[in-house]
């Protein structure tokens, strides 16, 4: 698919997994004549993910017990065969199509930039409109607490809900480390490559903006170092020319405390350390820079302005349309006083692309934290992810 990488970041704990030697969990169904294994607390999973739910025993296959290519193994206690592959570090079940080529994309942003709302809408868009657009099967994997929360947030914003926006994401804690994981499967015929199929795993974690406000905090977010690409949400109200407007509309001043350049600089420093980059070396992993809450500026432009234009729902990524929007957004960032952001990106990244997005589709009431009563009308929320996937060659490009 993308090359022969064997060591891949676990989509749950982000530590490297040698996909040829995973751990396994017993099924609880013993071999004939053997005593069944009993469930017990998994100390490893409790330590890493604060999950003390009793499970059947976890084991690493002994050299003489390996079967085939380790798609299954034999429990050393009850001698039953199991195909439940686990990450050796956190003991989370690995998706069936998890390989060394499975990418990990991070979603990050400043405090108040709307990460949680966008992620709750993106999770729905992936399994519905995006899946239909590319003729793909895109499904959630596992029972993540984050997925449950995202579903609840989205229902509150849909017709019949109370319209309340999610509260500020709390700072990084161990109990909140289980991310939202998706498996994407599609036929290669839609990519113009003939028969066959392709699949990949996507993992998102809803980190707090406070966890990225300084290099010290960003350094602790080791999942960023494991990513193959990043989506960075910037709050356009955080740019100098828009701050007075933000305050006049009732936006909490605390949400404007950490500036876009402050978080971008911290993340850049962490990635430079993770990649062991020398002086004057640029970060190679692609960065999608998204101006969130763009609906707040729709009234200032015409209906045909690039930030309001709806992308064509074709089963390809339109590279030229994306580039045109990129250059337009660059001019907006410069006009709004974000020239420091532009200079930083040019000097530190080999591949970055600007996007706009609105998870709500209409400006909310900021002071009361309530969405517009017309419900959700997402605008371009999936485009940054589709660019990252097209950049890796998983999706076709129209140039």
Q: How far, in Å, CA of 294 to CA of 106, rounded?
A: 21
Amino acid 80: pLDDT: 93
Amino acid 385: pLDDT: 94
Amino acid 36: pLDDT: 96
Amino acid 368: pLDDT: 61
Residue 283 backbone class (left: φ over 0; alpha: ψ -120 to 50; beta: rest): beta
Amino acid 75: pLDDT: 94
Q: Report pLDDT digits (tens) over 307-346.
A: 999 988 899 999 999 999 999 999 999 999 999 999 999 9
Would you list the DSSP string of 329-398?
HHHHHHHTT-HHHHHHHHHHBSSEEEEE-BSSSS--BTTTTB--TT----BSSSHHHHHHHHHTTSS-EE
CA angle 18, 21, 26 (to 5 degrees): 125
Residues 6+ apart with CB under 8 A from 148: none
CA angle 227, 228, 229 (to 5 degrees): 90
Amino acid 190: pLDDT: 43
Q: DSSP 3-state assignment of 135? A: coil
Give the number of other Cβ atoms within 10 Å of residue 398's Cβ: 14
Quote the crossing angle between the two packed helices 319-335 and 339-348, to the nearest 10°: 130
Token representation of residue 284 = 């190679």
Amino acid 70: pLDDT: 67
Q: Which residue has the tokens 């990084």?
A: 172
Amino acid 172: pLDDT: 47
Give the residue extent of every domain in the chain.
Answer: 20-86, 105-398
CB 84 within 8 A of CB 93: yes
CB 308 within 8 A of CB 298: yes
Spans of the chain below 50 pLDDT: 1-5, 64-69, 172, 190-193
Q: DSSP 3-state assignment of 129? A: helix
């Amino acid at each position: 698919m993308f090359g022969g990488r064997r060591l891949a970041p676990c989509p749950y704990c982000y530590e490297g997994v040698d996909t040829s030697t995973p751990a396994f969990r017993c099924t609880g169904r013993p071999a004939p004549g053997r005593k069944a294994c009993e469930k017990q607390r998994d100390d490893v999973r409790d330590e890493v993910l604060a999950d003390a739910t009793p499970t059947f025993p976890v084991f690493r296959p002994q050299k003489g017990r390996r079967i085939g290519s380790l798609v299954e193994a034999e429990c050393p206690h009850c001698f039953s065969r199991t195909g439940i592959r686990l990450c050796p570090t956190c003991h989370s079940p690995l998706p069936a199509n998890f390989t060394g080529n499975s990418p990990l994309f991070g979603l990050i942003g400043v405090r108040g930039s709307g990460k949680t709302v966008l992620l709750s809408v993106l999770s729905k868009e992936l399994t519905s409109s995006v899946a239909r657009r590319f003729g793909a099967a895109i499904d959630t994997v596992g029972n993540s607490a984050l997925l449950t929360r995202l579903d609840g947030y989205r229902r509150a914003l849909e017709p019949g809900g109370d319209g309340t926006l999610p509260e500020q994401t709390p700072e990084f804690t161990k109990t909140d480390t289980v991310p939202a994981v998706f498996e994407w499967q599609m036929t290669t015929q839609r990519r113009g490559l003939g028969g066959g199929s392709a699949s990949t795993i996507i993992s998102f974690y809803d980190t707090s903006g406070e966890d990225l406000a300084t290099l010290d905090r960003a350094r602790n977010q080791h999942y960023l170092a494991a990513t193959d690409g990043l989506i960075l949400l910037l709050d356009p109200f955080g740019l100098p020319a828009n701050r007075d407007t933000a305050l006049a509309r009732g936006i909490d001043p605390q949400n404007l405390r950490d500036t876009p350049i402050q978080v971008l600089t911290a993340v850049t420093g962490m990635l430079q350390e993770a990649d062991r980059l020398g002086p004057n070396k640029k970060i190679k992993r692609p960065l999608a820079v998204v101006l969130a809450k763009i609906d707040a500026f729709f009234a200032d432009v015409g209906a045909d302005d690039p930030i309001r234009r709806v992308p064509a729902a074709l089963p390809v990524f339109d590279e030229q349309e994306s580039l045109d929007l990129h250059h337009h957004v660059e001019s907006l960032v410069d006009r709004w006083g974000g020239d420091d952001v532009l200079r930083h990106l040019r000097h530190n990244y080999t591949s970055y692309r600007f996007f706009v997005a609105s998870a709500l589709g209409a400006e909310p009431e900021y002071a009361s934290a309530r969405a517009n009563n017309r419900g959700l009308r997402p605008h371009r929320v999936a485009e940054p992810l589709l660019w990252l996937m097209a950049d890796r060659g998983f999706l076709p490009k129209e140039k």
